[in-house]
Amino acid sequence: MKNYFNPILATVLLAVLLTSCGSRETGELVGALDRPDWKGVQPYGMVYVPSGTAHVGNSDQDITGTFIQRPKSITINGFFMDDTEITNNEYRQFVNWVRDSIAHDMLGDFDENGNIDWEVDLYYDDEALADLWLEERFAGRRQINTSLYEYTYKEADWGAAAMARPNGQSGQGMDQYITEETVNIYPDTLVWVRDFAYSYNEPMARSYFSHPAYDDYPVVGVDWHMARAFSYWRTSLWNKYNETLIEEFRLPTEYEFEYASRGGKEHAPFPWGGPYVRNSKGCLLANFKPGRGNYPDDGGAYTVAADAYYPNDYGLYNMAGNVAEWTITAFYENANSFVHDFNPDIRYNAKDDDPIAMKRKVIRGGSWKDISFYLQNGTRTYEYQDTTKSYVGFRNVMSFMGRSLSDF
């Protein structure tokens, strides 16, 4: 019998053998060969804001404002941003997740998917879930015990870690720079009553967050900590169901917000350009307080749906009006005088016992109850980080990582 040597088959067998042994080294500097493939992600509901340069600051109309906050040219790295404000129904997904976590602890048993069967447990296991409800009913309806809706989120102080390294204090890793904060995350529905003295807004307090008619309206009654807790939960939710590594969801810096609001229109006073708040047909272009208080003239007496009106050139809705929005940035009147011109940012997470002035956080965009001045791209104001308002909401951003957008 003759033996035939097949060089092709031998090459294939050798390659399989080398692969099975885990050896792929060639003696050349080719980088680590076990890296995961990365083609980028585009999170649902977000649009890409490309890197670029903008001239930020008060408009020429606000002469006195320019004495405090001088205009500044900045560069911003690209990022993804929610195309609308976070809506009631999106925030309710967070609230329901916290509710289910509490119910899991109370019941101790789960269905086959690890979820609470509310149709069964809500009506047949009332005793086990009794603490989720207040004892007294109102008009025959059970009231939610919102005091239980607490969530613990974490954050890393990268600035402190960076400053510790040159001093030889970084040997313990990042754990020493990670802090936890527990917050009640149920929206403060009473803001509709508390924000306006001698004004009848109880129907909004009763229905705005709970009724399906308002599902697509921006969530309000969330303070700065609650918005950050939502962002941390959103990142954790992604990581639970996806192996693809992403940057964290977070609040935008005030400069990211202004840059995105301009939509690529340099020196434009409003997200749609300007200089007017009406188009050529006389229609108002945002939800705010027109004239001397003709609130419904723009189509909404209070808030409107988060995707109302036309988006700006980046595809972002209601970057002016509807609700003002939290940013991650601490408020200092003269911030433009000292922040860096590359990805400018200034933060301070105030403690409970800090002076109240240290608790100011920048809000941007203006709201349904504000005059048009607060809708301008360059206008900045603040609210205190531990306060809730009927006219302040938020949206998330996520820093863009590395590849060409042609991959999307």
Name the nearest CA neighbour of 218 among 361, 289, 318.
318
Q: First-to-last CA distance in the chain?
A: 59
Name the nearest CA neighbour of 146 among 155, 134, 157.
134
- What span, in angstroms and rounded, lies between the C-alpha atoms of 38 and 241? 17
288 CB-contact burial (10 Å; exposed 0-12 / middle 13-18 / buried 19+) = buried
SS3 59: coil
Strands 150-156, 178-184: pairing kind? antiparallel
Domain ranges of the chain: 50-87+185-407, 99-147, 155-180
Residue 23 confidence (pLDDT) = 53
Residue 174 confidence (pLDDT) = 77
DSSP letters, 306-370, are TT-S---TTS---SSSSSEEEEEEEP-TTGGGTS-SBS--------TTS-GGGGEEEEES--TTS
Residue 123 confidence (pLDDT) = 44
Helix axis angle for 224-241 and 88-107, nearest 10°, is 70
Name the nearest CA neighbour of 54 among 331, 262, 252.
262
Other C-beta atoms closer than 10 Å to the C-beta of 199 total: 9
Q: What are phi and psi of 184, to 5 degrees?
A: -80, 125
Residue 113 confidence (pLDDT) = 53
- pLDDT tens over the chain, length 408 residues: 555 556 555 554 555 444 544 556 778 998 888 887 777 788 999 999 999 998 888 766 665 665 666 788 999 999 999 999 999 999 999 999 999 888 888 776 545 455 666 555 554 455 767 788 887 888 888 888 899 999 999 998 888 888 887 665 655 677 888 889 999 999 999 999 999 999 999 999 999 999 999 999 999 999 999 999 999 999 999 999 988 888 999 999 999 999 999 999 988 999 999 889 999 899 999 999 998 889 999 999 999 999 999 999 999 999 999 999 999 999 998 888 899 999 999 999 899 999 999 999 999 999 999 999 999 999 999 999 999 999 999 999 999 987 545 434
Residue 35 confidence (pLDDT) = 81
Residue 376 confidence (pLDDT) = 93
SS3 273: strand
- What span, in angstroms and rounded, lies between the C-alpha atoms of 200 and 208? 14
Residue 13 confidence (pLDDT) = 53
Q: What radius of gyration, in Å, describes the C-alpha atoms of the chain?
A: 26
Asked whether the beta carbons of 222 and 187 are under 8 A apart, the reply is yes
Quote the pTM value. Answer: 0.88
Pick the CATH number of 50-87+185-407 from 3.30.530.20, 3.40.50.720, 3.90.245.10, 3.90.1580.10: 3.90.1580.10
Residue 61 confidence (pLDDT) = 61
Q: 35: which DSSP letter? A: P
Name the nearest CA neighbour of 268 among 377, 374, 365.
377
Residue 266 confidence (pLDDT) = 85
> What's the token pair of residue 387?
């306060």
Q: Is 189 left (phi over 0), alpha (psi -120 to 50) or beta?
A: alpha
Residue 390 confidence (pLDDT) = 98
